[in-house]
Amino acid sequence: MFDSDAIKNEFILFLKEKLHFNDSEIYIDSDKAISNTNKYLIKEFLKQKKEGVPLDYILNSSKFYEYEFFVDSRVLIPRPETEILVDYVNNHFSSPIKVLDAGTGSGCIGISVALQNPSFQVYGSESSEVALNVASINKNNLNVENFLLICADWLSCFKTKTFDLVLSNPPYIADQDPHLEDLKHEPKKALVAKDSGLGDLKLIIEQSTKVLKKGGMLILEHGCEQENEVGNILKENNFLDIKNFKDFQNLPRITLATLE
């Protein structure tokens, strides 16, 4: 049914984080009486794990960069490879700039960039109102002053030459991709894009040519087999200095380019 070691580790985390058990209550005091509420929560946990619900949704918590984000099924669970985008920004920009995180979801990219760079003015745009509610919870929980949320269809609402930097981890999975079965608890809107997964990447690249300042940079996360197509779309849209980065599994997952 499920991997017993993995479920055991997740169960221990659940006992600690959700039910606030300490180590001795988990490992030593095995006769500890369990309240009816906790018995109910444990049953619910086991039911959710049988259904394949990711632990982060059960705990309503996801670690990204140095921060803890509230998550539930309204947003994608932040992935470790997305931290590469934030790292790049932290290592290559210092003077005060205007940044857009397009498709902000939980807010993980934009909020981390804003917290790491207090002089930046960071915007998080999102078309899903329920995802915006989650991003707003994270903005408040993490007390971020230089991060503004905007309800928008990609970059359509922004004026020309507004941003120095546009970041995005858009949906990029094709409609019929078998991997979607493993992701069935996450919002489809966060995962699937038209045109074999390239539809939203194309829109963001095209719209970035308007909202980026001359010499501004676009950084995109994409699928490991989309490197060449993304590079070609960037070239067609007058982007220069196109570079690709590999993720922690050595797969080409991030492309950046500068607007001519």
Ligand X SMILES: C[S@@+](CC[C@H](N)C(=O)[O-])C[C@H]1O[C@@H](n2cnc3c(N)ncnc32)[C@H](O)[C@@H]1O
Task: Specify whether the CB–CB gap between 97 and 113 falls below 8 A.
Answer: no
131 touching ligand X, by CB under 6 A: yes
Minimum distance, C-beta of residue 11 to ligand X, in the bound complex (Å): 26
Q: For residues 106 and 54, give the distance between their C-alpha atoms in angstroms, rounded to a whole number.
A: 16
Q: Which stretch binds ligand X (CB under 6 A): 33-41, 76-84, 140-148, 241-249?
A: 76-84
By CB under 6 A, name the one of 45, 57, 154, 163 that touches ligand X: 154
List the one residue out of 217, 222, 207 whose CA is nearest residue 239.
Answer: 217
Among 104, 117, 207, 226, binds ligand X (CB under 6 A): 104
Q: Which of 15, 55, 58, 76 binds ligand X (CB under 6 A)?
A: 76
Residue 185: strand, helix, or coil: coil
Q: Would you say 219 and 109 are in contact if contact means Cβ atoms under 8 Å apart?
A: no
* Binders of ligand X in range 169-198 (CB under 6 A): 169-171, 189-190
What is the total count of residues that contact ligand X (CB under 6 A)? Answer: 23
Long-range contacts of range 185-189, CB-CB < 8 Å, 24 or more positions apart? 185/51, 185/52, 185/53, 185/54, 185/57, 185/73, 186/54, 186/73, 186/76, 186/77, 187/73, 187/74, 187/75, 187/76, 187/128, 187/131, 189/127, 189/128
Which span sits near ligand X by CB under 6 A: 48-56, 87-95, 120-128, 142-150? 120-128
3-class secondary-structure state, position 63: strand
Rule CB under 6 A: is residue 127 a binding residue for ligand X?
A: yes
User: Is residue 54 near ligand X by the rule CB under 6 A?
Assistant: no
Find the binder of ligand X among 78, 197, 223, 252 (CB under 6 A). Answer: 78
Among 82, 112, 117, 138, binds ligand X (CB under 6 A): 82
Residue 255 bridge partners (DSSP): 220, 244
| Segment interacting with ligand X, rule: CB under 6 A, options 15-23, 26-34, 101-109, 241-249 | 101-109
Give CA–CA dist 72/74, Å, rounded. 5
List residues binding ligand X (CB under 6 A): 75-76, 78, 82, 103-106, 108-109, 125-128, 131, 153-154, 169-171, 189-190, 200
